[in-house]
């Protein structure tokens, strides 16, 4: 697919269904409880209805797509670890022993780890590699524009496949040492914010390590001169294959009318890229948690999201997104199983205006 093809595909996205959203709220308002008393759980259910196009909510079959990739900027000492840690994490993903796998088991969700561009080959990953890691963004573009489009298309296609397999709720996750650096770089440009305001310590950098990370991002922006009005330009020059693929997953959710759960910082940056490509995509994204990264609040405010979970999580892998799933299951149980005002012969509460 070319850039023009992707641009054309984006024009086919339609808004989430306001009719289904309103019907969901109408049903919730007739359940025997104070109106709106489940707070954000109610708005999330309505968002699911709107994204799915029906108030008949069904999220029984759910999964998390974990996009795995290596980043050339590691050469600048921006992380405590080397790419071998990405390899080790993905091997654990294949064995179903990582944190997200343990959480997904409890949430009755399936985990699909995907090789989007790792240096090492790991058997058992879905083979979707664009290249053996990105280039060092401090020296030049992370990838070509066509590679970015290719990674985005992979994300779109995986969502299509999962919907065909019967999944009705998809979470996004990632694994790749150095991807808070690429995410911070992309966010700095898209929000026109100073590097130091959007760059955190990642998995736990020292003061010296944080300075190296910030300097690498400043150099990357200076070298590449990305165009903030062109999300694809920013993504290809400063991002990673994992971010591009997650951006594609959010686009895929909008194209396939299936809600996609956003995880933390890296997933959030990918969501912002997707929304910048077409603002209608926002209606198909469910926020899960507010990241402990310093730009977390800034990112949520930009997209107009109010996440359910405030847990200072920063693990990645899609753990925050999966943590939302049991809460949604609880809300769906109320939606279908709780008594209505008519059932208990009590006059319905009226909304205060």
Q: 188: which residues sit within 8 A by CB, 6+ positions away?
A: 194, 195, 198, 199, 217, 221
Closest CA to 314 of 276, 265, 253, 272: 265
Nearest to 144 by CA among 127, 157, 130, 155: 130
Task: Find the catalytic residue in 123, 196, 317, 350.
Answer: 317
Q: Look up 317 and say whether it is catalytic.
A: yes
Instruction: From residue 298, give the alpha-carbon distance in Å to each of 42, 145, 227.
Output: 24, 27, 20
Give one DSSP letter per residue of 301-333, joined into a string: HHHT---SB-S-----TTHHHHHHHHHHHHHHH
5: tokens are 């093809």
CA angle 66, 252, 96 (to 5 degrees): 20
d(CA 236, CA 224): 10
Q: Is the separation of the CB atoms in 183 and 243 below 8 Å?
A: yes
Burial of 12 (0-12, 13-18, 19+ CB in 10 A): exposed
Active-site residues, by number, are 317
């Amino acid at each position: 697919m070319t850039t023009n093809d992707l641009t054309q595909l984006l024009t086919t996205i339609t808004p989430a269904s306001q009719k289904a959203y309103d019907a969901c709220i109408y049903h919730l308002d007739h359940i025997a409880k104070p109106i709106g008393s489940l707070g954000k759980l109610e708005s999330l259910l309505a968002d699911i209805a709107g994204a799915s196009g029906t108030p008949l909510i069904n999220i029984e079959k759910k999964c998390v797509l974990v996009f795995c990739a290596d980043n050339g900027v590691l050469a600048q000492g921006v992380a405590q670890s080397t790419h071998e840690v990405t390899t080790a994490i993905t091997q654990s993903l294949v064995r179903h022993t990582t944190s997200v796998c343990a959480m997904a088991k409890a949430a009755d969700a399936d985990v699909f780890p995907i090789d989007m561009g790792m240096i090492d080959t790991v058997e058992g990953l879905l083979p979707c590699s664009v290249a053996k890691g990105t280039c060092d963004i401090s020296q030049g573009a992370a990838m070509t524009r066509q590679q970015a489009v290719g990674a985005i298309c992979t994300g779109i296609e995986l969502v299509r496949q999962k919907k065909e397999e019967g999944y009705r709720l998809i979470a996004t996750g990632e694994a790749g040492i150095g991807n808070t650096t690429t995410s911070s770089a992309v966010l700095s440009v898209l929000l026109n914010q100073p590097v130091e305001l959007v760059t955190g310590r990642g998995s736990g950098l020292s003061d010296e390590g944080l300075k190296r990370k910030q300097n690498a991002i400043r150099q990357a922006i200076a070298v590449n001169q990305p165009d903030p009005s062109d999300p694809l330009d920013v993504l290809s020059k400063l991002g990673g294959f994992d971010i591009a693929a997650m951006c594609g997953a959010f686009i895929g959710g909008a194209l396939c009318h299936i809600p996609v759960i956003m995880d933390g910082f890296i997933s959030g940056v990918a969501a912002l890229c997707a929304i910048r490509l077409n603002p209608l995509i926002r209606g198909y994204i469910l926020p899960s948690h507010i990241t402990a990264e310093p730009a977390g609040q800034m990112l949520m405010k930009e997209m107009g999201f109010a996440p359910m979970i405030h847990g200072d999580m920063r693990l990645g892998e899609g753990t925050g997104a999966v943590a939302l799933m049991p809460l949604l299951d609880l809300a769906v149980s109320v939606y279908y199983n709780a008594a209505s005002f008519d059932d208990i012969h009590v006059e319905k509460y009226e909304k205060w205006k």
